[in-house]
Structure 1
Amino acid sequence: MITKCKILCVVLLTLLSSWFTLVLARNSSIKENNAVVDLIVMVNGSKLGFCSKSMQNCTIQIAPNECLSPPGSISITNNSRISAKNIRASSGDINFMTYVVQNNGCPASLPPGASCTISFSTNASVAFSVSNVTVKGSNTTSTSFNINAVQCAAPTITGVPSPNRQVGIVYNQSNIASGGKAPYSYSLNSGTLPAGTSLNSATGTVSGIPTTAGAFSYVIQVTDAYGSTAIVSSSGTIVNIFPVAAGPSNVIAVPGNSQVTVSWTAPTNVGTGTVTSYTVTYGPTSGTVFTTPGCTTTGSPPSTSCTINGLTNNTAYTFAVTTTTAMDGVNETGPATLSSSVIPTSGLVVSPSTLLLSGIGGGTLRTITVTNVSPNPIIIDSVSSPLPALPGDASVDTSSPTTCNIGTILNPNNSCTITINPGLISSSSSGCTDGITLPTSSTITITGNSGSITANAEAMLLGYGCQYQGGYLFAIDDTTLNTNSIGGKVTMLAANSIMWSPLGVHDSIWGIDNTSTSTLPSPNASSFLPATLKLGQLNCNGKSDGTCNTENIFVYYEGTANYAAGICKQPLSGAGVICTGGANCYTDWYLPSICDLDATTFICPSTQSIVTSLSFLIPSVFTGDYWSSTESLTGAWFENFSSIPPATGSSTNNLQFNVSCIRNLTS
């Protein structure tokens, strides 16, 4: 009996224990399910933006994702001992429901102490505010914050002026948008585009070929993908093409220590605009391209000299000077004029390194300048006599107070001089005037500081027929500054043969016939055979200015080379062979004018010509027909060297005549 009682008691106790455990577990589950989780919300991850139910004043700023980085966000932390369920942000505001996009980084169940982030953006560039956006989970407290939605920054637009604003020349004005949201579209907001141009609505470029001269003004509007806009205005004047100024003359390059100073004479043919600047470029003499930027002068009028620094000593350079002419804000650049080759150096610099003098008798006394370009004084030890001796009665003139003498002290940047008198007697005894013998230079050696510094100066007398700088000398200009060499012209040692024009037909080319002047060009737009002025052309003195004529012809035929003037625009040796650079390669040849060939047919500004100066080389060297760059009414002028005496004639352009290019001496 007792045993049965014990067994029954144990069973009852077990049942009671199980029931009690079940009740406790059930009560625990009910407590967790009924608990409310406390959330901590921070704005944009900053504790300074701590939000609470009592404050409810936290605000985030939102916009489309591409306009705001990083996006506006809230950070949520579970501050309870149980997991927070299904946390999300919500609002009944119509703007919130329409425009707000939330990137909910909170898991379905956020463990105690864990954090998550919800970021917000808008699906359009609109501005609005929403107050009391609720943050709540299915078992959490609720916390509110505010949203301030802002529009994307409007796009900006920048206009880039067209480099050309002339009738008949491509106009290309860019309008560049940035900011806002691509893609962009462009439209004409107001005003009128230049006649002949149009706007590309996808790129914002206004382009075309203007057909009418006159003022213009227009406003371009850009609209981005959000509908935001910006505008930019453009205005100016479309002008007719105008004749550019000729290149400067007498370009002189004086070397120094790692530098060269270039000077020139302003052109007399300035076209119809205003000369506003000169640009100097350069390159190694070993090549044929001299386009490295050097220096630019401006002003009214612009300066005619400047210095290029940073050059390499003991390297030969050639310099090119161009003229910029302006009219109504439009700039045009004329042809280039080259210097001789010079070599920067330290110590003593001699300029010109080779002094050219007139050897036809009674020429100008000319001076060689010796300059100390080192940082220390130099004492002259010796100045030698010319070796070989100067021809004829030419001599060294020592009467100048600046003469370089033994014992002369040259402080840095100081100079002394050596003066050469070419004499009164024609120096045909030098031998080179026979057209065969090459000229000989006389060397004067200057030493300083006990022979540690040496410089050589060269002096050379030239007469008609001397071979120099690629050709026979047929014109001498003894009016240049006496601190420089003489000027002059040489004609090639050998001729090519070709038609005057590429297709052998007569083309009426602006301002190059025998009646044309720099003020009254002919042919022109109203001539019997009218001509059209093209960009880069000049008003030429057609019968006498071969450089101008050649430039106009070259521009007309757009830079090709299969015709008379085109050959002369190539880099050529004195033998008329295309070359690639070096001391005997020249890039400034041109087709001679009719006055260059024969100064006796027309009233020419100079009596010097191939016929008058090189008669002893006719017909042994010059024989047959030679083209000039001067047009006639129906063709071009030429010179027949085979007739006795030589005769000038006009021919159609399809004949294969000789071409002997000429060039100006450089010093």
Structure 2
Amino acid sequence: MNIINKNLVLMSLILTFQATTIYAKTGDLFKIYAHGGTLGQTISFELCLDISGSTPLSCQNYTTEQSELTIYSTIPNNNYSYAGTKINTPGFVYKAGPTANGYSLLGQISDTQGATGTFIAETAFLTISPSTLGLSVTGVETTTGFDSGTPRVFTLKNIGSTPATGVNCPSITSPSITSITCSGCGTILSGNVCTVTIQPSATASAAVADTNPTPITLTIQGENTNKLTPSINVLTYGSFYQSGYVFSIIETQDPSLSIGGTVAAERDASMDSSIVVNIMEVPYSPAWLYTFININNGYDGSNTKTGNTYWMVRQYSYDQNYSAGLCIPPFNSVGGYTDWYLPAICQMGYGATDSFDCGGDMPGTIPNIQYYLLYSPRQSGQNINISQF
């Protein structure tokens, strides 16, 4: 058995301040973290290490779709007091420091010290954070023990210099959404925000075993603003999300964040096999799981310092000739995600082995594929494909 696990993307687990590295590749003079709301369009800008003279020096062009940037240099052991930026996209300015000759002074930067600034639109302009929300259905168990179906929130911000008027509260008819409520919308003054709260129902928008679910799309726009189209995914066990089947749901307490969790890959990572089997045809017994993996940690297969994959890779090197190495980048990045790993035995199923007690009865000591993908969907008569070789 060679199922791969990955964590669902949850911003607070990637970077604590909810930032995404957008540029830090070889040859770049700058390392940029983009955060804040999503603009809904691409902004082009130029960064220079020195704008003190008549001609800016050491300049490069970048793009972003986020409203705030934190900018570092990539050059070690150097401080740049006159680094600056110029916005190439009409209708926007960058608020950081003083401006001269079309450039805004960033403030001192180095490879360890960043400078943060914000894009400001010349007219009313809405950003949204996040641009996509993942919610759980009501009435299911969660890994954290918190009730599933927590209402979650989009936050709109007017980064323009004039009020945004007539901003609509979105409405949509969907069996997966019980209600949508708005606070502070209508007219949003410059720099102010409004919130859009989504209450999910017991019906998933990503139905069990549907490998191509369609997210729910909302439309938000003011009389004098840009249009935003945030998306919503309402998930349950067996939903296909971020290139895998959900078998763990982490109900995060912060309603401005999506849920977290874990998924099992749809297909086998083996180079020699592309067999996909119907798990409903697998004998309903934990016995077939127990020959899979039984090493240091029965509960954590992750590619972190607490997980089996991490230590296996360091023992056998980055190579695709064995299971753990084949499950991680660069040999595996299914769906563009880079946090796949080989699951531990208790992530595979419940029961007892000679070395580990994964829980003698359902559902097991930790969320596992056997119970949440084999047993729970079986009760609803759904079929899910997972991989096997």
| TM-score where L is the length of structure 2 | 0.55
d(CA) in 1 for partners of 2:20, 2:176:
40
Deviation at 1:494?
0.7
Deviation at 1:477?
0.8
Match of 1:166 in 2: none
Report whether the alignment pairs 1:453 with 2:226: yes
Match of 1:293 in 2: 31
Deviation at 1:442?
2.1
Deviation at 1:456?
1.9
* 1:516-535 matches, cutoff 5 A: none
Tell me the alpha carbon deviations over residues 264-310 of structure 1, each in whole angstroms, 9 at most, x when there is no partner: 59xxxxxxxxxxxxxx772469x9xx997347xxxxxxxxx999x97
Match of 1:381 in 2: 167
d(CA) in 2 for partners of 1:497, 1:378:
53
What code does the residue aligned with 1:470 have?
A: S
d(CA) in 1 for partners of 2:383, 2:152:
35
Tell me the alpha carbon deviations over residues 491-544 of structure 1, each in whole angstroms, 9 at most, x when there is no partner: 111113379xxxxxxxxxxxx966xxxxxxx5xxxxxxxxxxxxxxxxxxx222
Moved over 6 A (4+): 617-620
What code does the residue aligned with 1:621 have?
A: N
What code does the residue aligned with 1:434 have?
A: V
d(CA) in 2 for partners of 1:619, 1:555:
37
d(CA) in 2 for partners of 1:294, 1:368:
24
d(CA) in 1 for partners of 2:120, 2:299:
39
1:367 to 153, 171, 175: 153
Check 1:380–1:556 CA distance in 2 against 1; reply closer, same or farther (3 A cut).
farther
Deviation at 1:480?
3.9
Report whether the alignment pairs 1:356 with 2:134: yes
d(CA) in 2 for partners of 1:393, 1:621:
27
Tell me the alpha carbon deviations over residues 430-476 of structure 1, each in whole angstroms, 9 at most, x when there is no partner: 4x33313533322222212x244221222221111211111111111
Asked whether the equivalents of residues 126 and 160 of structure 2 are also in contact (C-alpha less than 8 Å), the reply is: yes
User: What's the C-alpha RMSD, in Å, of the aligned pairs?
Assistant: 4.3
Deviation at 1:396?
1.2
Match of 2:385 in 1: 621
Check 1:404–1:291 CA distance in 2 against 1; reply closer, same or farther (3 A cut).
farther
1:471 to 211, 220, 244: 244
1:397 to 181, 188, 209: 181
Check 1:306–1:383 CA distance in 2 against 1; reply closer, same or farther (3 A cut).
closer
- Percent identical pairs in the alignment equals 29
2:298 to 510, 521, 543: 543
Match of 1:409 in 2: 188
Check 1:421–1:597 CA distance in 2 against 1; reply closer, same or farther (3 A cut).
same
Check 1:620–1:363 CA distance in 2 against 1; reply closer, same or farther (3 A cut).
closer
State which structure, 1 or 2, has the greater radius of gyration over its C-alpha atoms: 1
What code does the residue aligned with 2:178 have?
A: A
Gaps of 5+ in 2: 1-6, 38-44, 48-61, 71-118, 140-147, 273-292
Asked whether the equivalents of residues 36 and 129 of structure 2 are also in contact (C-alpha less than 8 Å), the reply is: no
Match of 2:345 in 1: 594
Match of 2:16 in 1: 263
What code does the residue aligned with 2:129 have?
A: S
Tell me the alpha carbon deviations over residues 327-359 of structure 1, each in whole angstroms, 9 at most, x when there is no partner: xxxxxxxxxxxxxxxxx9963221111111102
Asked whether the equivalents of residues 36 and 66 of structure 2 are also in contact (C-alpha less than 8 Å), the reply is: no
Asked whether the equivalents of residues 152 and 255 of structure 2 are also in contact (C-alpha less than 8 Å), the reply is: yes
Structure possessing the higher relative contact order (Cα contacts under 8 Å, 6 or more residues apart):
2
| TM-score where L is the length of structure 1 | 0.34
Asked whether the equivalents of residues 561 and 570 of structure 1 are also in contact (C-alpha less than 8 Å), the reply is: no
* 1:29-68 matches, cutoff 5 A: none
* Count of residue pairs brought into register by the alignment: 260
Check 1:375–1:565 CA distance in 2 against 1; reply closer, same or farther (3 A cut).
farther
Deviation at 1:363?
1.4
What code does the residue aligned with 2:322 have?
A: Y
Check 1:409–1:397 CA distance in 2 against 1; reply closer, same or farther (3 A cut).
closer
Asked whether the equivalents of residues 347 and 367 of structure 2 are also in contact (C-alpha less than 8 Å), the reply is: yes
Gaps of 5+ in 1: 1-246, 254-260, 266-279, 296-304, 320-343, 500-511, 515-521, 523-541, 625-657, 659-667
Check 1:411–1:427 CA distance in 2 against 1; reply closer, same or farther (3 A cut).
same
2:203 to 424, 427, 432: 427
1:612 to 344, 366, 371: 371
d(CA) in 1 for partners of 2:311, 2:257:
30
Check 1:281–1:445 CA distance in 2 against 1; reply closer, same or farther (3 A cut).
closer
Asked whether the equivalents of residues 358 and 366 of structure 2 are also in contact (C-alpha less than 8 Å), the reply is: no
